[in-house]
Amino acid sequence: MSSVPLADTALDQLFLQARTFNTWQDKPVPTALLQRLYQLMSMGPTSANCCPARIVFVASAQEKERLLPALDEGNRDKTRNAPVTAVIGYDLAFAQRLPQLFPHAPDAKTWFADPEVARNTAFRNGSLQGGYFILAARALGLDCGPMSGFDAAKVDALCFAGTSVKTNFICNLGYGDARGLFPRSPRLPFDAACRLV
């Protein structure tokens, strides 16, 4: 199957008109849509198909209130009001699943026996999957509010206690309220960010 360029409307939805939202419409996000989002993002490539991203979708008001103290003050109201908050982590023990995910290389687990190699691989590929997550959400008609600004140890304790998963970033999800948008910030031009050699 050969790829063809997407239509301008799709590029607008994914990149050019898409924005980071801080305010939200009072409109729920169905569980089935979150499942579809995950299925779509999971198809993006990772090293040795390692798939280290792990996600906790925080949707209940009770769990939101437990999460808020771990966030910087400036992130609390927008998170409280978002229909869903996704805590996106990366699993340091991802290699344990390689017999399932990369079965044609029976020794793949041994490639990541060094904890530093495993950590770098998990973080790099979990971050890639976080990018796929945002694009998948936008492709499905959701708006995103990705953010840093939290106490990672506290979020780990709340969402990933007793596991080998560490928090990477947090992303609010829902249907954004454009009235809360700031003017778009500038981006670096090609020549400031890229070299062709």
The CATH number for 29's domain is 3.40.109.10
* Residue at 4 is within a domain: no
* Residue at 132 is within a domain: yes
* Residue at 7 is within a domain: no
Find, among 143, 150, 133, the residue nearest to 176 by Cα: 143
User: Would you say the pTM of this structure is higher than 0.75?
Assistant: yes
Judged on CB neighbours under 10 Å (0-12, 13-18, 19+), 194 is: exposed
Predicted confidence at residue 1, as pLDDT, reads 74
Q: What's the number of domains the chain is made of?
A: 1
* Residue at 134 is within a domain: yes
**Regions in the chain scoring below 50 on pLDDT:** none
Please calculate the CA angle 111-116-119 and round it to the nearest 5 degrees: 85
Q: How many residues does the chain have?
A: 197
Distance CA 188, CA 182 (A): 18
Read off the amino acid at residue 14. L
* Residue at 41 is within a domain: yes
Predicted confidence at residue 193, as pLDDT, reads 98
Predicted confidence at residue 82, as pLDDT, reads 98
Domain hosting 30: range is 20-176
Distance CA 159, CA 151 (A): 12
CB atoms within 10 A of CB 146: 18
Whether the Cβ atoms of residue 101 and residue 49 lie closer than 8 Å to each other: yes
